[in-house]
Amino acid sequence: MANELLNQLDDKNKKRLESLARVFGQIRAGRANASLLDRIQVTYYGVPTPLNQLASITIPEARVLLVTPFDKSSIKDIEHEISASDLGITPANDGNVIRLVIPQLTEERRKELAKEVKKEAEEAKVSIRNNRRDILEIAKKQQKTSEITEDDLRTIEKEVQAATDKTVKEIDALIAEKSKELLEV
């Protein structure tokens, strides 16, 4: 019973960490990163299709993304969707490939992005704490209905707290890594 609750907590925490890592990957840090284009959907033969299924995305230089469509006829649609997105990057189309030059960030913009990173991380920590609360409530209900003993409840509480602390440390490590990346010139 205790292992089942801990596995449930671990699954929820892992999903939240993966979500946070995805969000951090989409925050532009002045460097080329293929995950910047993950959210872009291109209408291809009437069906919204993720860009990474329509083109290969490479990084030939530190601040350049190169989008090479598999079907050259879709290049205009891809260029339009990138322009219409909230990336703030103007695509350059040469007929075969699309070049995206990522502009250097200003100091002010870097600090804004660092604040955004901290805000996202704090939301993740709140979510992790809510997961802890939910699991402890389940354990307390099981103790009241005599499914587990009071000693088992104490053990579960300690293990749940340890798992929560571990996940919060992982979030702190993600914050430090992304903040360093953002503030580095």
Record the pTM.
0.69
Rounded to a whole number of angstroms, the distance between the first and last alpha carbons of the chain is 51
Residue 90 has pLDDT above 70, yes or no: yes
Percent of the chain with pLDDT over 90: 35
> What pLDDT, on a 0 to 100 scale, did the predictor assign at position 158?
93
Determine the Cα–Cα distance for residues 109 and 29; give it in Å rounded to an integer. 10
Structure tokens given for 48: 């919204």
Percent of the chain with pLDDT over 70: 97
> What pLDDT, on a 0 to 100 scale, did the predictor assign at position 15?
93
Determine the Cα–Cα distance for residues 24 and 166; give it in Å rounded to an integer. 19
Burial 58-97 (b: 16+ CB within 10 A, else e): eeeeeeebbbebeeeebbebbbebbeebebebebeeeeeb
Q: Looking at domain 2-26+106-183, what is its CATH homologous superfamily? A: Ribosome-recycling factor (1.10.132.20)
pLDDT-based confidence at 6, cuts 50/70/90?
A: confident
Please state, as a whole number, how many other Cβ atoms lie within 10 Å of the Cβ of residue 121. 21
CA separation (Å) from 33 to 26, 83, 100, 166, 185?
8, 17, 11, 28, 16
26-30, 54-58, 71-75 — which is least confidently predicted?
Answer: 26-30
CB 68 within 8 A of CB 34: no
**Residues forming beta bridges with residue 118, ordered by sequence position:** none
Helices (H), 26-106: 51-54, 75-84
> What pLDDT, on a 0 to 100 scale, did the predictor assign at position 185?
61
pLDDT in tens, 159-182: 999 999 999 999 999 988 888 887
Q: Where are the domains of the chain?
A: 2-26+106-183, 34-101
Domain 34-101 has CATH 3.40.50.300: no
Map 73-96 to HEC letters: HHHHHHHHHHHHCCCCCCEEECCC
